[in-house]
Structure 1
Amino acid sequence: MTAPHDLDLALAVKVLDAQPFSRLLGARLTAFGDGAATIELDIRPELHQQNGFVHGGVLSYAVDNALTFAGGTALGAAVLTGGFSIQYVRPAKGRALIARAQVVHGGRRQAVVRCDLWTADDQGAEILCAVAQGTILSAPQG
């Protein structure tokens, strides 16, 4: 297993890029380290639900991956999401989604992580659209 201090943004970007679904959505890891991770993706029409807002599944995807990458800064590269809860604050609309996750508590085998999910408009102003908390676990080896 890779030790947390051996991980850096360049390696984490490669891990994200190895996920076909992340590539499909066009997700970008823009910050990684010191117990935190940020994932961004451009909002495009095909990510909307019937009312013109970003689909909740896309929001959950961003939260899930941001939580897991932040947890990986504390636990190492081999991690899995144990579970998370998400509260939608307002409908997501704008130019981009920004999921910022931070480790709240890290142990040897699990980390509790919080994520705030923002939308950005064309001027870059950010609006909170969801908050989440999850448990990230060290993946079983072998």
Structure 2
Amino acid sequence: MRRLTAWALVIGVLALAVLAYLGNAWLFALYLAALGNAVSFHWWYACSRCSNLCCPFNVRSSEFFVRSSAVRMVGERDREFSDIRSLVAGIPLLLSVAIGVVGAWMFSWIAAVVWLLYISIAGYAYWKNSCAHCGNDCPANGNPAYREWKQGPG
């Protein structure tokens, strides 16, 4: 299910690119540049150091979203926790999506609203399936074991 929700998010981001292209070519180009920057920054800042093996976007995860089937990594723990500030890496992604939404709105406000509804549902499903097991320092982290680890003993 985690892999499915990850693909839903990727398809949503690509669909937004199409809508932005149909709305305004300049905003489409700006969206692609901002999205490329956001993904690169996220990969450099968070993914390269992430120890969260429940994340379908983590290459070391057994449920990495581009694998054809789940595998068990030898010598890796199921869950580890870290102090990576995921929100810092998420802000550029949200800014690029905002640019894409403006471009999509210029194409059709109905298409933009439908896309926002789709990405909200996909984002909620991702949060329910992945963030409940997350080990990173993020405001959306829904893992009670992580919160206990973060507070420390006593």
Please indicate, yes or no, whether the TM-score normalized by the shorter chain is above 0.5: no
Normalized per residue, the structure richer in helix is 2
Higher gyration radius (CA): 2
Normalized per residue, the structure richer in strand is 1
For CA contacts below 8 A with separation 6 or more, give which structure has more relative contact order: 2
TM-score w.r.t. the length of structure 2 is 0.27
